[in-house]
């Protein structure tokens, strides 16, 4: 793995694309899919050109270096406020309910939470989808599952995007996350019930939607309250791979890619891509006309286009997070970014943040409910670090030791992606390392799959791997983890650029949620968890239905303060 992903990375620079070239124009300029050999001479600026999700090579590196500073600790600190705001609104939504027990579909609730986070941190929109079910602001963005990038364009795009994820950018995003987290918690607090039953996958998806809306687009949405806002609905539409039509298209692209490319059948639909493209272009126009400077993802990309990004060194290590992966490429490569280029990058982050992070939140909620001792210890740490007034600081959240251990173990047992691939860019031989092994000869365009799930669940690396044990990641035990056996965000230069963002989002939400509630199993909760085999990504059959029991006796004064501040 070290040879393929790090040492000889230039031989394995690209991912294999989900869609063939020419099928979706918006696909190939995105960081996830950029190719060097085909950089789109013409670019449709009126609709999402899905070639933007296809960056490879130097273009990928350049865009990566532009985005990376947006995810540094300092930028995350800024976004954290929005995340926390969404988290508090999420909790207070359920606190408003009356009665002894209320059934809540957590999968839906978490989906709405992530929607709100995305809306506020990415777009600057306010939504509160868990409470507002009929606002149209979310039908757009989960349409990105390609993974192809050719060398030079990929490198260029990487260097462009990397500054967006430095610590300084994360500090700004932290403020946005903080706000979303507060909003999320408020939704449940307003339910006025001792215990509510929640489908966490939906609730968390709504939360992550709102986080991305605020951190990427500067848009505030509340997906728990406004349950049918366009941000959320577009995300659901784009990420739905269960429909018959979508399945037929997918296998059509997979089995006969040349014909699919020739026919140019759109995979995600013009409504989704047009909505997203129009949102980005109109927002850029308004900001430039009114000279609005906002440190969300969209604003940082506008900065990059002007060559005004200020972060010189995105590698900052103020966080204690074990799972964060750092950048290794040169930064501040100026790129000639079109509005469509910018839209493509923001779109892929919406896709990643909308569903994938909400699933990670759902698995963590389930493990806390199933492991009472772990939850109690985490609550103790939260109570010890909670300020008397106001929201926690970025440094407080980032450096909570046990919180990081729980997040790290969640991502080990339930990795965001079960596998990662690499495409061979030039002939390569993997030499034998053990007696009796044979060399493996690889040719150009061969595809290699690395099973993250298998590595994380191998008893050779993790004793009793099916047990949820945060102690694996204590300061004393971390040194026992072998290199390249813990890779929840991938490994090497082609790792997930948003790892710092995702981890901060998880920590912000659970800090606020567990400040007000305990998470408990209910009658519908499945222990052990049953995986939904029909789902493309890891998910539960029961949509992570769990109970939230209020902790009023611990924080009565604090609860009243938050309710008054958020209403």
Asked if 148 and 57 count as a contact pair (C-beta separation under 8 A), the reply is no
With CA atoms as reference, report the closest residue to 342 among 420, 397, 269, 282: 282
- Looking at the DSSP assignment, which residues form a beta bridge with residue 115? 207
Would you say 496 is a known binding-site residue? yes
Q: Are strands 219-222 and 124-130 parallel, antiparallel or unpaired?
A: parallel
Other residues' Cβ atoms within 10 Å of the Cβ of residue 269: 16
The phi and psi torsions of 107 (rounded to 5 degrees) equal -60, -45
- CA-CA-CA-CA torsion sign (556, 557, 562, 564): positive
- CB contact set of 539 (below 8 Å; sequence gap of 6+): 107, 201, 359, 362, 531, 532
- CB contact set of 57 (below 8 Å; sequence gap of 6+): 13, 14, 34, 35, 36, 37, 149, 150, 151, 152, 153, 154, 155
CA torsion, ordered 32, 37, 43, 44, to nearest 10 deg: -60
- Cα–Cα distance list, 407 to 174, 413, 489, 503, 508 (Å): 17, 10, 13, 7, 11
Alpha-carbon distance of 405 to 27, in angstroms, equals 36
With CA atoms as reference, report the closest residue to 206 among 94, 300, 295: 94
Asked if 452 and 415 count as a contact pair (C-beta separation under 8 A), the reply is yes
- 447: which 2 tokens? 């595809």
- Which positions make up the binding site for heme? 496
- Known binding-site positions: 496
């Amino acid at each position: 793995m070290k040879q393929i992903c790090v040492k000889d990375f230039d031989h394995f620079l690209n991912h294999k694309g989900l869609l063939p070239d020419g099928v979706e124009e918006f696909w190939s300029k995105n960081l996830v899919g950029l190719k060097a050999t085909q950089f789109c001479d013409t670019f449709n600026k009126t609709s999402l050109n899905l070639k933007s999700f296809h960056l490879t090579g130097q273009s990928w590196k350049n865009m990566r270096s532009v985005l990376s500073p947006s995810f540094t600790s300092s930028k995350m600190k800024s976004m954290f406020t929005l995340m926390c705001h969404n988290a508090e609104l999420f909790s207070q939504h359920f606190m408003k309910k009356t009665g002894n027990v209320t059934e809540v579909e957590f999968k839906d609730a978490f989906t709405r939470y992530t929607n709100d986070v995305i809306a506020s941190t990415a777009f600057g929109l306010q939504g509160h989808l868990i409470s507002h079910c009929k606002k149209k602001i979310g039908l757009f963005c989960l349409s990105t599952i390609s993974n192809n990038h050719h060398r030079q364009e990929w490198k260029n795009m990487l260097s462009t995007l990397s500054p967006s994820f430095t610590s300084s950018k994360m500090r700004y995003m932290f403020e946005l996350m903080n706000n979303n987290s507060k909003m999320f918690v408020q939704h449940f607090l307003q339910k006025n019930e001792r215990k509510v039953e929640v489908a966490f996958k939906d609730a968390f998806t709504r939360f992550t939607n709102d986080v991305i809306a605020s951190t990427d687009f500067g848009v505030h949405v509340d997906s728990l309250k406004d349950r049918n806002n366009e941000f959320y609905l577009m995300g659901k539409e784009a990420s739905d791979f269960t429909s018959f039509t979508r399945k037929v298209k997918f296998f059509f692209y997979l089995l006969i890619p040349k014909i699919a490319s020739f026919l140019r059948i759109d995979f995600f639909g013009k409504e989704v891509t047009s909505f997203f493209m129009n949102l980005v272009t109109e927002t850029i126009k308004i900001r430039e006309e009114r000279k609005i400077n906002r440190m969300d993802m969209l604003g940082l990309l506008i900065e990059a286009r002007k060559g005004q990004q200020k972060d010189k060194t995105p590698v900052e290590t103020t966080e204690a997070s074990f799972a964060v992966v750092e950048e290794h490429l040169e930064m501040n490569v100026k790129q000639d970014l079109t509005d469509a280029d910018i839209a493509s990058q923001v779109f892929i982050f919406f896709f990643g943040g909308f569903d994938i992070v909400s699933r990670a939140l759902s698995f963590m909620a389930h493990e806390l409910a199933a492991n009472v001792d772990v939850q109690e210890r985490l609550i103790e740490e939260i109570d010890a670090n909670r300020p008397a007034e106001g929201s926690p600081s970025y440094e407080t959240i980032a450096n909570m030791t046990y919180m990081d251990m729980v997040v790290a173990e969640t991502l080990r047992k339930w990795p965001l992606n079960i596998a990662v691939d690499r495409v061979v860019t030039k002939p390569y031989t993997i030499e034998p390392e053990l007696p009796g092994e044979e060399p493996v000869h690889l040719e150009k365009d061969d595809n290699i799959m690395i099973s993250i799930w298998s590595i994380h669940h191998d008893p050779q690396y993790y004793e009793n791997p099916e047990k949820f044990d945060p102690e694996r990641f204590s300061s004393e035990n971390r040194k026992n983890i072998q290199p390249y056996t813990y890779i929840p965000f991938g490994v090497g230069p082609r790792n997930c650029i948003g790892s710092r963002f995702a981890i901060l989002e998880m920590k912000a939400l659970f800090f606020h949620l567990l400040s007000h509630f305990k998470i408990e199993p209910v009658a519908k909760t499945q222990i052990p968890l049953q995986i939904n085999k029909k789902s493309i990504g890891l998910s539960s059959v029961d949509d992570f239905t769990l109970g939230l029991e209020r902790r009023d006796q611990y924080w009565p004064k604090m609860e009243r303060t938050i309710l008054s501040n958020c209403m």
